[in-house]
Structure formats: C-alpha cells, structure tokens
Structure 1
C-alpha cells in the first residue's frame, strides 16, 4: 500500500443544477472496506445517468458515494480486508455505484476487470457501464443469439455503439436508429447492418421492410413513452422488448391482446441499484465470454471525446447537446 493523500480532487455537486455545478473540490480520499479495492483513477466514463444525477433526478443508491461517475479505469493502490492480494498494483477497469469523477475511488473487487495491453486506460474506462448494460439486457434478458435480428435505438450513443460491436462479435444482425443522416452514416461505418433516420423515416415500416415482414427477435429501448407500442409492432412473434431508460416518457399504452396473441415479452432493468453479488456474477460472465475478445483487440469502445476532470461541465454539455458518437471520457492527468 502506498502513502495516500488525505484529500483528493473530486466532483460532487453541493446542489443539483446545470453543468456549471460540476466544479472540482477537495474531498477525503476514500479507504477500501472489506472486499473492496482502492483505485488511483486514470480515466472515468461519462454516462447519461451522471447527467440525471447532476440535475437531481437520479440519486445514488444507499451506500454509494454521491460523487458522480459509474465507471473508471486505473491502478489498484490499496486493498480492503479479503480482497485478493494479486490485485495490488494491477491495471483494472471497474463498474461502480458512484465515485468515478475523482482522483481515487473504491470498487468492489468482484466488479474489476484487468486492463489488457490492447486497451488504453481511456478506452478501458469507457467499457464497463455500456458493456454490462448491453450484455445483461440484450444477451441475457432478451436472449439474443447468433442469427437473431435486433433493433437498438440510439445507435450512436455509448449503448448503441457497444450493441453494434457486440452484435458483430456474436453474430447478430443489428438495426439501429439515429437522429440524423450523419449519425446514420456513422453507425453504418461502425458496423450496423442497417441504420434508420427516425426523424425522416418511419422506423416501424423500415424494420418490417428490412426483415421481410417478419419483424425482429428483440428490441433494446431507451426511449419509452410512445416508442413502446411502436417497438412492439417491430417484433416478430415471440419477440422480446427490453426497456433500459425512459428518455421519452415513463408511461406507455400498449395493445395487451397483441402481446397475448403474439406471445411477446416485455421486460426491463436498471443496473446501478443491483447488489454487488449480482454485478460480480455478471463480471465473471463477461470475463469468460467477452473479455477474450477485448484482450485480442476485437472489442474496443468508440471514443467521442476526452475532457480533463476540471472540464467536466463541458463534457456534460457535450452529452446534452446530443452530437456525440460513442463515449465521452474524463481524464485525471
């Protein structure tokens, strides 16, 4: 264990508000509890839930730090009781309940993955949140398997670009939506089989055209609202609809008899509030099924732009503007 500073720069807004509340201030350097590690953070991913938390709409779950940041990469510099000694000094990336926008952060040891030589620390920091989300929802909850056709909204977001990458590795045909012709072109360059401009095209009609009227096996939706009944029209019989966010509305009216007649499944999940046991199980599964592709250089996150920690406000402005393609990352150096 190295000598640790008593305080560290971190971003933990004292009140909700716009991007301007994201200013660095000195906070006590955390210490790892049993089963945790302390990571000297090199980079931290920026995600939509960070924006919602900053605005006061998404409080951290009980026990999580109020400091923003749900994913990070860095070096393990201290161990809590029971953490594997082999982790000390290792480069890792981790999914955390909060705390990533800081010079040091604690993470459950079971939620850490090794950073292979194929990844930079910036790339590693951009992986956990979207990888865990897409894996647990598209492959586990929606049971997507090789040969399936899937529809994913927000094709150039962090979630969308990860879904495209995983679909290429695991043999899915992926249709995505995006809000401009430029983003449609970007999604296709990244490997989407089909990309639909939802502002100028009816995505329901286009999905039916692409699939020859059959529909797709699964929809991964982060919009909610009136997209839900439209998504159901995109599904094939026995199709699965998975909700992971409600950016367009938290309620929807659906045709229940159609759900019954066509044996559709509607499900969804949130990740942040799940316990460490569940997240550790997912980490183990990702380590065995996905991480070999990461180590081989076959899976990398799409990085839109990086910002210094002190420029976190600009990072949030970039995300809220909606012009980004892939992940926005904060760097500590």
Structure 2
C-alpha cells in the first residue's frame, strides 16, 4: 500500500510517500480501506519528534480515517465487511489501508461523504470526552472555547450550542471570529485586540463561565481562573502557549474550581469505545439532522501531506485540513 512516513524528525518535507505492507491486524481490529484521513496537531508534533508513538501503534502518522471495512473479524461487532465507517486510530491513518479497533469505529452519519466523516473522530472524541464527560457541561451552563477556529474549536462550539449552551470563543482575526459566530458562538473574542477574561465577565454579568476548553495553557491559565464561575472547570487538552503557569491557588480553593488535563491517544480501547457509544447516541443524530456539521477548510491528495502540514502550521485555516486517499 501507499503511505506517508516520517523519514526523520523535522519540517513538513520529512513526510514522504512510501510503499508499506498492509497492517497486521490484532485481535478485535478491522482493516479499513481508507478513503480520507484527517490532519491533526498531534500529527505535527509527532513529525517534529515531540510526540512519542504509543507502544504497539503504527509509526505512520494519522489519527482518524474513513473508508470501507475490507478485513478483520466482524463477529460480535455492529459491522460487516463492506460497511463504510469512520474510526479513531492510534496511528497509521496516512495510508491506503489502516487497522482500527472495532470499538473505535462508527458508521458514517447519513448524508455525509467519507471525506466529511473522516473529519469527525479525533475532534468529536476529544470534545465529548473533555467537555461533556470530564468537565460535565450540563443544564444552562456556559462554555468558553479557546482556539475557536481550530478543528477542536469548531466542533466544541457546534456541539455545545446545539445542546443549548451559551458558547463564547477566542480566535486571532476578525474573519475567524466571524466564522465562530456563524457556527454558534454567541460572541467571539479576538485575543489580539481584547482580553477574553474581561469580555467573558461582562457577557456573563460578572459570574464567569462554567467550563473552559483550553488548548493554550501558559499565561492563559491565570486569566481563565479569573473568568471562571464558582465551581467552574477547566479542561486542558494541549499546551500551545507553554507548559508552565503561575496561578492563584487561593481562588481554586475558595471557589471550588477544577483544572483537569487529558490526552486521548494513550487511553485504552475500552475507554475510547465508551466515548464512541456516547457519540453514536448524542452527536450522530445532530449530524444527521444537520444541526452540526464537519467544517473542512482544504483537502490535499495523500502525496501532498507535507503541504497539508505546512498549512496546519500556518494557523490560517478554519476547521479541518484533510487528505483524500481514494
């Protein structure tokens, strides 16, 4: 099969087209003939040598795919050979064939193409796990999404808004802020011109937001604490602004705040299968009813993975960058 490999840690041009044998399936895995795959920040970090591959995972980049099940034992699963699915994988997505645990596969939502479906798994699994499971966004609570124009951001905005929550977001340009509002944010804050903590406190009548989805960390963290409501929660999923922060722990104590962090890739198949079941129940109907949608910015052929990574690093995009494989 054709695949994209990381020839050595470095810039996007270290991504090279190669020939690889088909994946060897482990028990419980299905073989997917890949139609499309998504580009994600962890792929960029892996390419740069900053994200070690979990033990037993493919060294090929790519954490989400969509395509046709062409191999594996479907007994005891909801699937059969020939079914079209999308899947969250530990690696190997930048290839013509990919192995995926059956529990991490989901049917392609009705009305979506394989390309659109391949844009879903990494973002939807991450957002559901962190915003709704860990941070327990519920009822009439409010959400602040940092990086609202990213793949994670557009997913969090849409899901939370579709489920009835007030959503605020940050982004780095007027165009990106407008896109966030179009997707369901009540207000998008240009972090280059405004202090999000001040704006959020004004928008909530001084109360603050109940949940913050944070992929920045660094010097954002103390300001996020300042604009949290009592009993508020911060769900930390990335460290784009740095791994160190100085925070007022007195506020954490007095106001019963919770700061949690998680990474999805190393978690067990059982953990991810539980998220998949929740997505099928709660998010897939929203997709099929067109209350939420995948947002695809640009699509590249598999052989142009390096160009796709360069675009990802430019941060000029809104939504997902994709690879068309078939």
Offset of 1:288 from its aligned partner? 1.4
Deviation string for 1:235-275 (max 9, x for gaps)? 00110011000011111111111110111111111100101
1:69 aligns with: 62
| Aligned residues of 1:32 and 1:80 also touching (Cα < 8 A) | no
Offset of 1:81 from its aligned partner? 7.5
Offset of 1:59 from its aligned partner? 1.4
Structure 2 residue 298 is matched with structure 1 residue 309: no
Offset of 1:80 from its aligned partner? 3.8
SS class of match (2:67): strand
| Distance in 2 of aligned mates of 1:171 and 1:252 | 32
SS class of match (1:89): coil
- The 5 A counterparts of 1:131-150 are 131-150=124-143
2:322 aligns with: 329
2:170 aligns with: 177
| Distance in 1 of aligned mates of 2:186 and 2:108 | 29
- The 5 A counterparts of 1:18-167 are 18-80=11-73, 84=77, 86-167=79-160
| Distance in 2 of aligned mates of 1:167 and 1:181 | 22
Offset of 1:299 from its aligned partner? 2.4
Deviation string for 1:153-175 (max 9, x for gaps)? 00100011001110121111110
1:222 to 215, 220, 229: 215
Gaps of 5+ in 1: 1-7
Structure 2 residue 10 is matched with structure 1 residue 17: yes
1:213 aligns with: 206
Offset of 1:117 from its aligned partner? 3.0
2:277 aligns with: 284
| Distance in 2 of aligned mates of 1:116 and 1:182 | 29
| Aligned residues of 1:36 and 1:79 also touching (Cα < 8 A) | yes
2:256 aligns with: 263
1:190 aligns with: 183
| Distance in 2 of aligned mates of 1:60 and 1:235 | 35
SS class of match (2:5): coil
TM-score (ref. length: structure 1): 0.95
Offset of 1:94 from its aligned partner? 0.2
SS class of match (1:10): strand
| Distance in 2 of aligned mates of 1:59 and 1:304 | 28
| Distance in 2 of aligned mates of 1:83 and 1:9 | 31
| Distance in 2 of aligned mates of 1:297 and 1:181 | 26
Gaps of 5+ in 2: none
Offset of 1:82 from its aligned partner? 5.1
Structure 2 residue 193 is matched with structure 1 residue 200: yes
| Distance in 2 of aligned mates of 1:147 and 1:176 | 17
Offset of 1:284 from its aligned partner? 1.1
Change (3 A) 1:297 1:118: farther
2:244 to 251, 271, 277: 251
Root-mean-square deviation over aligned CA pairs: 1.2
| Distance in 2 of aligned mates of 1:64 and 1:81 | 21
Give aligned pairs, total.
Answer: 326
TM-score (ref. length: structure 2): 0.97
Q: Which runs of 4+ in 1 moved over 6 A?
A: none
